[in-house]
Amino acid sequence: DAKTTQPNSMESNEEEPVHLPCNHSTISGTDYIHWYRQLPSQGPEYVIHGLTSNVNNRMASLAIAEDRKSSTLILHRATLRDAAVYYCILRPQNQGGKLIFGQGTELSVKP
């Protein structure tokens, strides 16, 4: 499985934008880039996903590098409720949809 690399932790101030980076230099052409987040003692929650183009939804934006070897999850205005572990995951098209989680980035948000 292609591997992702994320910083262990990041800090942000409330109401400021947050850019969470992810490196995936061994990504293959058919791998989708997915982001999930997990609040303490809860199951993960879907955030966003993309293949080649940048994506926006109500939760976040996903910026994908032109060579697809890295991506950045952007939270436009962090709130205290955004404090969570954020996982960047590569999902191959031909493996039945399974997700292999890496270590993720623990985001803390300061008021």
Q: Which positions touch another protein (CB under 8 A)?
A: 32, 34, 36, 38, 41-46, 49, 87, 91, 93, 96-104
Q: Which residues of 25-40 are buried (b: 16+ CB within 10 A; e: fewer)?
A: eebeeebebbbbbbee
CB of 89 to another protein, least distance (A): 10
Say if residues 87 and 104 touch (Cβ distance below 8 Å): yes
Whichever of 39 and 111 has its CB closer to another protein, that residue is 39
Whichever of 30 and 54 has its CB closer to another protein, that residue is 30
